[in-house]
Amino acid sequence: MAAPESKQWKEAIRRREIRAHIRNHTWDVVRRPPGIKVIGFKWVFAHKFDETGQIVRYKARLVALGYLQIPGINYFNTYSPVASTNTIRVFLAVCCSLDLILRQFDVETAFLNGDLEEDVYMAAPLGIDIPEGMVCKLRRSLYGLQQAAAVWFKKIRSVFISMGLVQCRANPCLFVRHQAGRDTSPVFIILYVDDLLIGCKSDEIADKSRDELAEHFTLKSLGEARYVLGVEIQYATKKVELLLRQSQFISKMLETFAIPWYWVKF
């Protein structure tokens, strides 16, 4: 690897991605069955930015070449819902009106948590030595597989239901739970692929929800929700004020189209 940031990318491969596959037991090494199609793989790299545009993480993903899968043999259902921007705005508005706190979490290597029901065989990734004639039979869903998103959503939905959350009929990525006993304030959880937003009345309730999820997934706590899907969030709970901005997006658009800042009127 000869990229300018090769050191960071190699670190992301070794310390995060490969370790995640070992921890999740993503595949079994088996002898290649006769007549079986073996799919390939590739590495995909991306930066993760904060609300100021600074790089906060180097992400490396082992991605299966899912376009080589055979429908009806290697995969069946591929549909997975995604929270709409309108749903996210309504979620934020409701949390603001009820004076709830907002907490943000990221599920690390989310797709690796889903269990595959179909037989999918993949060539061994570079750096993993296996005997000749052997291949990787996938046990877990892997990025790039046709059914990866559907398998992941099925998994996390079952976990939410086991936690006593109810799936919203209008948007299947929104889940709600009403607390029993003295505290009857609701808990709202909205899911966007592997990003979670939790709206609730106190840190104790947020911590309890986090601990329940941590029994099933590896979570990264991002604290108060400040930057979600490219949108900056400024939220004052006591004043019940919520402000959404996209200053980084605006800056990039101005740069792309070579528009000076002094031309912009607000």
pLDDT digits (tens, 9 = 90+) for 74-100: 999 999 999 998 999 999 999 988 889
Mean pLDDT check: name the lowest of 21-30, 77-86, 241-250.
Answer: 241-250
Tell me how far apart the alpha carbons of residues 138 and 37 are, in angstroms, rounded to a whole number.
13
Cβ neighbours of residue 164 closer than 8 Å, sequence gap 6 or more: 177
Give the angle subtended at the CA of 136 by the CAs of 130 and 138, to the nearest 5°. 155
Query: Structure pTM?
Result: 0.83
- Mind listing the pLDDT tens digit for each residue in 133-176? 999 999 999 999 999 999 999 999 999 999 999 999 989 999 99
- Cβ neighbours, 10 Å, residue 137: 19
Cβ neighbours of residue 244 closer than 8 Å, sequence gap 6 or more: 89, 92, 231, 232, 233, 234
| CB-CB contact of 39 with 143 (8 Å) | no
Tell me how far apart the alpha carbons of residues 185 and 198 are, in angstroms, rounded to a whole number.
13
Residue 226 pLDDT greater than 60, yes or no: yes
Element (H, E) at 137: strand 134-138
pLDDT at 5: 78
| CB-CB contact of 30 with 135 (8 Å) | yes
